[in-house]
Amino acid sequence: MSRSLNKGFTLLETLIAFVVLTVGLLGAVALQAQAKQASYDSLQRAAALGLGNDIIQRIRVNDTVASLAVYNTHFSTSDSEISQKSSACLNVSCNDTAMASFDIEQWKKAIKAREFTGAIADATVCISTDGATKGGAVKVVITWDGRQKMKQGSDNSNITCGEANQNRKMVVLDTYLFRRG
């Protein structure tokens, strides 16, 4: 009866298995980092879409000529001034321009809340109601800084809302306003 002296793994086999396992784990860690960045960008886009839809709906409700002139504006998270005088619209009836000012202050607060909610980072909101005084196009552009760089297409590069860089992400909502009266 012959007995084999080779039992177990050799040092070389163990080393090769360790290298293969290490490469696989490094790939899994890189995949996890990419998934986290994509999840963050998805959260940002969802928050921007929610804000954009809120803007459009509030403009549709308050669509007088005077209020459309107030809504035709832009603001960003770097704007330090948030007026407290428009909060009077919470408990009393307001005219159309006061309500438009109140809406804008609420949107400013929403984009400044990112420190507490993880919402839109370094956001800029541009609202264009030009030509909508008799019914027409309303354009809402929301830009923010994403974590992943990407090349801007020519259509995106031509939009002047926010800082144009490789991290800029944006949501553009175009709608048509049917003005009453």
User: With contact defined as beta carbons under 8 Å apart, do 174 and 137 qualify?
Assistant: yes
Domain residues for the domain of 165 are: 11-177
Report yes or no on 148 lying in a domain.
yes
Report yes or no on 41 lying in a domain.
yes
How confident is the prediction along the chain (181 residues), in pLDDT tens digits per residue?
A: 566 666 667 888 889 999 999 999 999 998 998 888 888 888 888 889 999 999 999 998 888 888 888 898 999 887 756 665 556 687 888 888 899 989 998 888 888 765 555 568 788 999 998 766 667 788 999 988 877 777 777 777 778 887 777 778 888 999 888 776 5
Residue 68 CA to residue 51 CA, distance in Å, equals 18
Report yes or no on 3 lying in a domain.
no
Report yes or no on 4 lying in a domain.
no
How many Cβ atoms from other residues are within 10 Å of residue 170's Cβ?
Answer: 18
- The total of structural domains in the chain comes to 1
- The predicted model scores a pTM of 0.75
Report yes or no on 6 lying in a domain.
no
